[in-house]
Amino acid sequence: MKTRLIGSAVVALVVCGAAGLLRAAEDPPAWAYNIAPAPAPGAPPAQAVPDEGTARRLVGAGSAFTLTEIRNAFGPADWYPGDHPLMPDIVAHGRRPDVRACSLCHYPNGKGRPENAGVAGLPVEYFRQTMADFKMGLRKSAEPRKANTNTMIAIARGMTDEDVTAAAEYFGSMKWTSWIRVVEAERVPKTRSQGGMFLVVEGHETEPIGRRIIETPEDAERTELLRDPRGGFIAYVPVGSVKRGEALVKTGGNGRTERCGVCHGADLKGLGPVPPLAGRSPSYLMRQLYDIQQGARHGVWAELMAPAVARLTNDDMLAISAYLSSLAP
Ligand code: HEC
Ligand code: HEC
């Protein structure tokens, strides 16, 4: 009896180990995908702040812009033209009807926001590969309600090879610099979900962090309303998660995962075509780990990642994301 039990345990382990996808999937981590709750029955849907035509300003910016100019999907405001090289047309304006300007969501400096992706400093070869994956349906979100990933797919489909190369070389020419402050905390400011991002609600109320990372702008108005590409983020992470993540990343956690530095570089700043991870958005990193684990992101290169994520729990991936984010890029 005892040997039979041990036998089936071994079989179960082998099955789980060989195909991580067979293990009972945990639900997508809600904090990372940040889908806004549906409005209460009868309540009007959330509206964008209307444009009253006022010229808005940011400290140190030479020009003022209206909200309509700031949100223009085919040529959004460029607050700080001196912060980046001259944008190729596809980055600055995109192309109608489907290719919205990259600079709208990823900003002219490629910093991006928690709900999309930081694209500055990515290796050109990786950038081109991942755009091809979006195009061919090999890179989707594991959370089908994440609408902007579907928008990104439509954008990739509308681009020519020349467009992709121009965007890849432009964003790849800029360095990724630190703009996310990782803070371990038991309690966090109360937030609401808007446009895929957490915004602190008025009233200085706090709540327990739980098993979440709460990534929120340093200044909600500058980031959410004005799309300030210099306005950074705070990422509140559970106490102890940075250290736990560090152990998994550096040692592989006794076979739970692989040592990430082997492929991503000892400093996790990327190695050849393998993308950099240090100092990137923890919400973004978490979504990628989960998407790859669940097979929603399954391009040829993602196969190399499969053994690293197969046995990780959501909590492991949270800790890894907290640690990677805390590193100086
Ligand atoms: C409407 C907003 C939006 C626009 C406009 C946009 N993207 Fe994206 N982009 C996204 C989202 C959302 C993701 C994926 C986030 C996820 O699934 O976690 C993404 C991801 C990416 C990635 C993957 C980054 C990585 O590290 O793998 C690249 C590369 C990229 N976009 C390039 C572009 C280019 C080039 C353009 C302009 C032609 C563009 N994007 C325009 C929203 C946008
Ligand atoms: C055997 C090589 C290898 C190992 C080991 C490895 N990775 Fe990767 N990783 C890759 C490759 C290649 C890609 C690009 C995948 C793609 O294009 O779909 C990638 C992509 C990623 C991405 C998505 C990056 C982006 O910009 O979207 C994350 C996050 C990531 N790896 C995290 C990790 C972590 C954390 C570990 C360790 C626990 C790890 N990787 C171990 C090779 C590896």
Reported as a single tens digit per residue, the pLDDT across 83-134 is 999 999 999 999 999 999 999 999 999 999 999 999 999 999 999 999 999 9
Residue with tokens 């179960």: 12
Task: Please tell me the predicted confidence (pLDDT) of residue 37.
Answer: 84
Task: Domain count for the chain, please give it.
Answer: 1
Q: Quote the distance between the C-alpha of residue 49 and its chain's center.
A: 25
Identity of the residue numbered 101: A
Residues 302, 253 contacting (CB under 8 angstroms): no
Q: Quote the distance between the C-alpha of residue 173 and its chain's center.
A: 20
Cα gap 115→150, rounded to integer Å? 13
Could you read off the pLDDT of 245-294 as tens digits, one per residue? 999 999 999 999 999 999 999 999 999 999 999 999 999 999 999 999 99
Cα gap 14→292, rounded to integer Å? 21
Structural domain includes residue 156: yes
Mean pLDDT of 156-173: 98
Q: Quote the distance between the C-alpha of residue 203 and its chain's center.
A: 28
Structural domain includes residue 305: no
Among 38, 70, 42, residue whose Cα is nearest residue 54: 70
The structure tokens listed for 91 are: 């980055």
Angle at 305 between CA 107 and CA 239, to 5 degrees: 70
Cα gap 132→136, rounded to integer Å? 6
Cα gap 283→212, rounded to integer Å? 10
Residue 41 in this model has a pLDDT that exceeds 70: yes
Mean pLDDT of 53-82: 97
How much distance in Å is there from the Cα of 34 to the middle of ligand 2? 22
Residue 14 in this model has a pLDDT that exceeds 90: no
Identity of the residue numbered 219: D
CATH of the domain at 140: 1.10.760.10
Task: Please tell me the predicted confidence (pLDDT) of residue 22.
Answer: 46
Among 132, 131, 119, 130, residue whose Cα is nearest residue 171: 119
Residues 6 or more apart whose CB falls under 8 angstroms from that of 259 comprise: 249, 250, 251, 252
Task: Determine the residue of 244, 264, 315 to mutate for testing ligand 2's pocket, defined as the one with the most ligand atoms within 8 A of the Cβ atom.
Answer: 264
Residue range of the domain that includes 94: 67-172
Structural domain includes residue 312: no
- Residue having the nearest C-alpha atom to atom 30 of ligand 1: 119
Among 235, 265, 233, 260, residue whose Cα is nearest residue 316: 260
The answer to whether the bond into 39 is cis (omega within 30° of 0) is no
Q: Which ligand is nearest to the CA of 162?
A: 1
Among 204, 228, 12, 1, residue whose Cα is nearest residue 113: 228
- Residues with Cβ within 6 A of ligand 1? 90, 94, 99-100, 102, 104-106, 116-117, 119, 122, 127, 130-131, 141, 148-149, 151-152, 155, 159, 167, 275, 284, 287
Task: Please tell me the predicted confidence (pLDDT) of residue 39.
Answer: 81
Among 313, 293, 296, residue whose Cα is nearest residue 248: 313
Residues 169, 124 contacting (CB under 8 angstroms): yes
Identity of the residue numbered 177: T
Among 215, 232, 219, residue whose Cα is nearest residue 318: 215
Cα gap 208→293, rounded to integer Å? 28
Average pLDDT, the chain: 93
Res. 7 pLDDT band, cuts 50 70 90:
very low
Identity of the residue numbered 229: P
Structural domain includes residue 278: no
pTM: 0.94
Structural domain includes residue 294: no
Phi, psi angles (nearest 5°) of residue 22: -75, -20
Res. 38 pLDDT band, cuts 50 70 90:
confident
- Residues with Cβ within 6 A of ligand 2? 129-130, 249, 257-258, 260, 262-264, 274-275, 277, 285, 288-289, 297, 299, 301-302, 304-305, 308, 320
> Above pLDDT 90, what percent of the chain?
88
Q: Which ligand is nearest to the CA of 104?
A: 1
How much distance in Å is there from the Cα of 88 to the middle of ligand 1? 16
Cα gap 312→307, rounded to integer Å? 10
Residues 6 or more apart whose CB falls under 8 angstroms from that of 279 comprise: 176, 177, 178, 180, 324, 325, 327, 328, 329
How much distance in Å is there from the Cα of 221 to the middle of ligand 1? 23
Structural domain includes residue 31: no
Structural domain includes residue 23: no
Residue 8 in this model has a pLDDT that exceeds 50: no
Q: Which ligand is nearest to the CA of 299?
A: 2
Structural domain includes residue 197: no
The structure tokens listed for 168 are: 């890849």
